[in-house]
Amino acid sequence: MFKLGEIQELQIDRFTSVGVYLMEHEDAENVNEESVLLPNKEVKDTMKVGDIVKVFLYKDFMDRLTATTKYPKIKLGEVKSLKVVDVNEIGAFLDWGLVKDLLLPFDEQKFEVKVDQKVMVMLKIDDQNRLYATMRIYQNLSGTFDYSVGDMVVGKVYQYSRDLGTLVAVDGKYHGLILKHDLSKALEIGETVTARVTNVSEDGKLNISLKKQIVEQMDEDANEILYALEFKGKLPYNDKSDAEDIKEEFNMSKRAFKRAIGRLLKLGKIEITESGIKLTE
């Protein structure tokens, strides 16, 4: 069957004056007799009947199912940052890389958007089988049990929560949350992050962290402290130092600092003094 809003491989059935008509190829399951037009402007001279063409399916200006060899900036179910190119009485229109701009209806806007502004949206299909964008991303993401604690995931930041932290669309479709205490710096809306799964809830929502596992992070932190010591010889910080001073100097928590100097002490790399730490002789 044809998949609106998705990329799929279709077979050239026939040439006409307006373009070529594509059908599901013979190897596809549940092949039907329907066809979809690939307009003349996208037909290449090398194409012939029987060729397999990879296309994206959307509705044209006449609301007809149409194929294009151009890949849009967003596909069905994905979350992306798109630019507003126009606003009128029915909503905003977004540049998604195709001739016909993507509609973001007023009802799907979380705030008033303006031309040239970039907004985070998800691509959906309405009850009349038309593609549209929505800014109501949280409500449209789902849980997943495809990932376990310790797995690395990729997602896009789409919203901040004052109470919880930073909301991330993992793989563009799953709930992800970076808790406030796991952030050492603010993330930008639309930023792509690679994070580690720290918890999977009963409904499949993921808690994720930008921090590495403790052992890996401790090695990284220890190396940073060791580098600073090799450059300066000694540092006025130890396990009694103020947490804010440690944060400002090393961009790490006091807990992480104590773990790191503990590791260096065990390795015989440093000595702890009343005034701080120094390299061993």
Which pLDDT does position 229 carry in this prediction? 78
> Residue 105 to residues 49, 73, 121, 131, 217: CA-CA distances in angstroms?
40, 18, 11, 11, 45
Q: What is the pLDDT of residues 126-167, one digit of tens each?
A: 998 999 999 999 999 999 999 998 888 999 999 988 888 999
Q: Which residue has the higher pLDDT, 75 or 230?
A: 75
Query: How many other CB atoms are found less than 10 A from the CB of residue 180?
Result: 13
3-state SS of the chain: helix, strand, coil percent to 5?
20, 40, 45
* Three-point CA angle 171, 174, 179, nearest 5°: 100
Which pLDDT does position 31 carry in this prediction? 46
Q: What is the pLDDT of residues 176-185, one digit of tens each?
A: 999 887 776 7
- The answer to whether the predicted template modeling score (pTM) of the entire model surpasses 0.85 is no
* Nearest alpha-carbon partner for 121 in 98, 88, 96: 96
Helix, strand, or coil (residue 14): strand
Q: What is the pLDDT of residues 26-72, one digit of tens each?
A: 654 444 568 899 999 999 989 999 999 999 999 988 889 999 999 99
Binning pLDDT at 50, 70 and 90, where does residue 262 land? confident
Which domains does the chain possess?
7-68 (2.40.50.140), 79-138 (2.40.50.140), 142-209 (2.40.50.140), 214-279 (1.10.10.10)
* Three-point CA angle 94, 59, 16, nearest 5°: 130
Judge residue 159's burial from the number of C-beta atoms within 10 Å of its C-beta, 0-12 exposed, 13-18 middle, 19 or more buried. Answer: middle
